[in-house]
Structure 1
Amino acid sequence: MLRRILTLTAIFLVALPSAVFAQGRSFIRDTEIEETLRLYATPLFKAAGLDPQAVSVYIVSDNSLNAFVAGGQKLFINTGLLLKADTPEQVMGVIAHETGHIAGGHLSRVQDQLRNASAISILSTVLGVAAGVATGRADVGTAAVIGGQNLAQRNFLAYSRTQESSADQAGVKFLTEAGISARGLKNFMEKLEGQELLSTANQDPYLRSHPLTQERVDFLENFVAHSALKDAKVSPALYERHARMRAKLYAFTSSLQLTLRRYPDTDTSIAGRYARAIAYYRDSQLEPALERINALIVEEPENPYFAELKGQVLLEFGKAADAIAPLHKAVDQSGGNAPLIRILLAHAELETNDPAMLDDAKQNLLAALSKERDNASAWRFRAITESRLNNNGEASLAQSEYSLLTGDRSAARYHAVQADRLLTSGTAPWQRAQDILRATEPDDKK
């Protein structure tokens, strides 16, 4: 089920680029939404010659319309963009454009250009000061500094516009090769056109970081007009997934009143009923939430996400024992390939305080960590499980992994020392403890 990292009750932490954390961003994890975005992105990554498994996709909890790439093959998409995108093709168009940046190596080139811009700005400052001293006029020096800074800014913006056009051209190529219409990208750009007259402060970040020019708009319009795919649509199944994704995001990020206004009882679609079920759960109304979730399960008994939602609702309302059956069902229905659901099941098993559940909890956590080794919550639950099983060395190692992922290096080192003492020398867990000890060694001892 959907979780906002660091803010929701069911917390799932992931290791993300430090620069992103430094910007104060929070992130959402949800199996259904992540799988939907993977369905959108995979054919585009393949068309670009990228390994889909090597590109990480993150969902940023931010209501503004934005998407960007950072840290190499890492794609970040704001919840605001997903909520404002009317069709799957619009999201696919944005992903194709951002994939153009990745495939073109634009990120590393931007860093070079920023360094060049900084060099020009610094040089203009030095020359401006020198000119002011030489002439004895402060206004001459100031004019030289401002002129140099404006030149640096113009050079960088020109380079940025060139990159955006290049990403557009690559993006439509990837869309075409994947059999997807570029109309979605064109329609998305049309959403941005209406913001150009707004002040910079009121524009969505996407427009500020992806400057829109008439040349870009003309290129996309011309490409779509002459494309054999201009009227093509993706499958109805993807349209349904898109509707459910937006409903889920809206219900999780809005009040009950707003959700019921957007998805009134007259909306009998699965997406509308899904939104209302989540809204009642988020409003702490257990019975109305369960009534609606059970109705959805009756209609789609093989849907793992409905079973997952029921399990999370029961768990968060203190009914851990009742949550286990639907969560087991969700794990089975997802083919055992949904680590977040396995972690949720292990959490429920631990909350029962039933020793008979510990072995199954451990197996679920091991399976989850085999796919998501950087999931801090899985390590925290693993530490609890190993401690209750009296595997104190493994518990210390798991706690050390958790501390390392959450940035507490001193705690990570402390628990690694305990693991080193308790684990059998030469084994794989012991070797991992040595790795952590080396990684957390004080700088003056390295």
Structure 2
Amino acid sequence: MRLLSHLFALVALLVLAAQPLAAQSVLRDAETEAFLDEIAAPLVEAAGLEPGNVEMVLINDPSLNAFVAGGQAIYLHSGLIDAADSANEVQGVIAHELGHITGGHINRIGEGYAKAGNISLLSMLAGIGAALAGSTDAAMGLMMAGQSAALSSVLSFTRTQEASADAAGAEYLSRAGISGRGSLSFFGKLLNMEMRRGFSQDEEAGFWRTHPLSGDRISTLRGTYEKDPAWNKPSDPALEARFQRVKAKLMGYVAKPEHTLRDYPESDTSTPALVARAYAYHKQAKMERALGTADLLIERAPADPYFLELKGQVLLESGRPDEALTYLREATTLSRAEPLIASLFGHALIATEDETNYEEAERVLRASVGRDRYNPFAWYQLGVVYAARGDMPRARLASAEQQVMKREYALAMRSAQAAEAGLPVGSPDWLRAQDIGMQARALLEQQCEMSKDRSCRRRR
């Protein structure tokens, strides 16, 4: 039964790894994304990849984790940012995940499962043979031994991949001239967390682990890092200061306000503390306090687009879009029309319900989705302004864009068909409607096959 429980746990783990975003939400913030891209860039280059091709994605999940799931995207949990004490620690995690990407570990994981499947199949055949010969006890023993060997094979395969990613990550940190101190510090956090939760570090417990023993990883990496010329290199103070801002903003956004105000009390007048409290007050609907805190930030840095964005967001979500326009327009200009900030500005233009603002809203939102197509909020706002201006075919097209990103494939297919019927034949938007319709149909077919739902096709 112990073996079966481990097998079921492993299967559950593999299912979650296969579809990691199914029940999780992506957190998007212009400042955070810019920061993550900046600290990852030297590591991406050291790994021999193009920085613009590696995407950093923040997941709203309090657990301390990071992963890759195919392609060149690294997923970081919000809990990891919260647990990290420095940008250098996050860089250590990113370097490790880059090791998984360059090692092709997601693509090769099928090799480990295939080997385990062969072991399991052979044990089943041997067990059937023993059963036919009249020895049921021997048959059961052969089958269980085979399942144990298969599980051991899979776990050994994943541990090998993790050790390989550790080594590659250390190499990339070295090439980038970044100290491995943060990497060791973060592994220390993992070790402490495991020990607090009662996870044994002995070899018997290690058999059941998908990762090498944390103590062994620290010992191995320490020997590598301490020999590296960058070991004693200090972190960039400006980068670390920005990390503290990003960390505070994240807590202010995702944590309960009382927890934020506990960790960032009013006696703390640092910039990160003001950022965190502004969001906490906003979530408590204490708008004047939120606005006053945003004003303090703007006084410190009048040309900081993220502080202007913050005040504009509070005003907009407080039902004062006309006042928000000044701050969001300036934030859009100073950030060189950063897509997420621009989409918020476009939303504010629409929220004024002033038809003279719709032309500018359309222009701003089209530019936003032109630079970042994967923003359902911007597509929704663009659909609203198209509908308000009577352009229903393009409103339908915008709906299709955001519906396919939300996995609403049947709705996306219908919206795309309606858009195609009303758009000029052969125009770029008409072609895009065709593309989305075919994409939604293919994804819906795939969804039906995976769900084995016989009524799926009829509903479609």
TM-score between the two structures when normalised by the length of structure 1 = 0.89
For 1:49 and 1:225, how far apart are their aligned partners in 2?
24
Question: Residues 429 and 149 of structure 1: is their aligned pair in 2 closer, same or farther, counting only changes over 3 Å?
Answer: same
Contact 1:68 1:77 in 2 (8 A): yes
Give SS of 1:21's match: coil
Q: 2:141 aligns with which of 134, 143, 146?
A: 143
Residue aligning to 2:177: 179
Contact 2:70 2:107 in 1 (8 A): no
Give SS of 1:57's match: strand
Give SS of 1:301's match: coil
Residue aligning to 1:68: 67
Give SS of 1:194's match: helix
Residue aligning to 1:292: 293
Residue aligning to 1:393: 393
User: What are the residue-to-residue correspondences of 1:294-443 with 2, within 5 Å?
Assistant: 294-336=295-337, 338-440=338-440
For 1:363 and 1:18, how far apart are their aligned partners in 2?
39
Question: Residues 268 and 188 of structure 1: is their aligned pair in 2 closer, same or farther, counting only changes over 3 Å?
Answer: same
Residue aligning to 1:204: none
For 2:18 and 2:159, how far apart are their aligned partners in 1?
27
Contact 1:69 1:76 in 2 (8 A): yes
Contact 1:200 1:208 in 2 (8 A): no
Residue aligning to 2:167: 169
Deviation of 1:209 after TM superposition, in Å, equals 4.9
Question: Residues 232 and 441 of structure 1: is their aligned pair in 2 closer, same or farther, counting only changes over 3 Å?
Answer: closer
- The answer to whether residue 90 in structure 2 is matched with residue 94 in structure 1 is no
Deviation of 1:208 after TM superposition, in Å, equals 5.8
Equivalent residue letter for 1:184: G
Which stretch of the first structure deviates more once superposed, 187-196 or 94-103?
187-196
Question: Residues 259 and 208 of structure 1: is their aligned pair in 2 closer, same or farther, counting only changes over 3 Å?
Answer: farther
Which stretch of the first structure deviates more once superposed, 207-216 or 418-427?
207-216
For 1:178 and 1:303, how far apart are their aligned partners in 2?
29
User: What are the residue-to-residue correspondences of 1:69-218 with 2, within 5 Å?
Assistant: 69-137=68-136, 139-197=137-195, 198-199=197-198, 209-218=210-219
Describe the superposition over 1:348-382 as per-residue Cα deviations: whole angstroms up to 9, x where unpaired. Answer: 11111111111111111111111211222222111
Give SS of 2:412's match: helix
Contact 2:63 2:80 in 1 (8 A): yes
Give SS of 1:221's match: helix
User: What are the residue-to-residue correspondences of 1:230-269 with 2, within 5 Å?
Assistant: 230-269=231-270
Deviation of 1:148 after TM superposition, in Å, equals 1.0
Q: CA RMSD in A?
A: 2.2
Question: Residues 412 and 212 of structure 1: is their aligned pair in 2 closer, same or farther, counting only changes over 3 Å?
Answer: same
Higher relative contact order structure (alpha carbons within 8 Å, sequence separation ≥ 6):
1
Which stretch of the first structure deviates more once superposed, 119-128 or 386-395?
119-128
Residue aligning to 2:275: 274
TM-score between the two structures when normalised by the length of structure 2 = 0.86
Question: Residues 63 and 55 of structure 1: is their aligned pair in 2 closer, same or farther, counting only changes over 3 Å?
Answer: same
Deviation of 1:240 after TM superposition, in Å, equals 0.5
Q: Give the percent of matched residue pairs that are identical in Structure 1 and Structure 2.
A: 38
Question: Residues 437 and 82 of structure 1: is their aligned pair in 2 closer, same or farther, counting only changes over 3 Å?
Answer: closer
Deviation of 1:421 after TM superposition, in Å, equals 2.4
Residue aligning to 2:34: 35
For 2:75 and 2:209, how far apart are their aligned partners in 1?
16
For 1:215 and 1:162, how far apart are their aligned partners in 2?
13
For 1:209 and 1:329, how far apart are their aligned partners in 2?
49
Deviation of 1:18 after TM superposition, in Å, equals 8.6
For 1:399 and 1:218, how far apart are their aligned partners in 2?
53
Deviation of 1:342 after TM superposition, in Å, equals 0.8
Give SS of 2:56's match: strand
For 1:305 and 1:402, how far apart are their aligned partners in 2?
25
Deviation of 1:96 after TM superposition, in Å, equals 0.3
Describe the superposition over 1:24-74 as per-residue Cα deviations: whole angstroms up to 9, x where unpaired. Answer: 112211111111111111110011011111112111111111001112211
For 1:396 and 1:136, how far apart are their aligned partners in 2?
67
Contact 2:322 2:348 in 1 (8 A): yes
Question: Residues 375 and 148 of structure 1: is their aligned pair in 2 closer, same or farther, counting only changes over 3 Å?
Answer: same
Which stretch of the first structure deviates more once superposed, 49-58 or 417-426?
417-426
Structure 2 residues without counterparts, runs of 5 or longer: 1-16, 201-207, 446-456
Deviation of 1:305 after TM superposition, in Å, equals 0.9
Contact 2:409 2:441 in 1 (8 A): no
Question: Residues 279 and 441 of structure 1: is their aligned pair in 2 closer, same or farther, counting only changes over 3 Å?
Answer: closer
Deviation of 1:103 after TM superposition, in Å, equals 0.8
Deviation of 1:333 after TM superposition, in Å, equals 1.3
Contact 1:93 1:175 in 2 (8 A): yes
Deviation of 1:433 after TM superposition, in Å, equals 2.0
Deviation of 1:216 after TM superposition, in Å, equals 2.5
Equivalent residue letter for 2:265: P
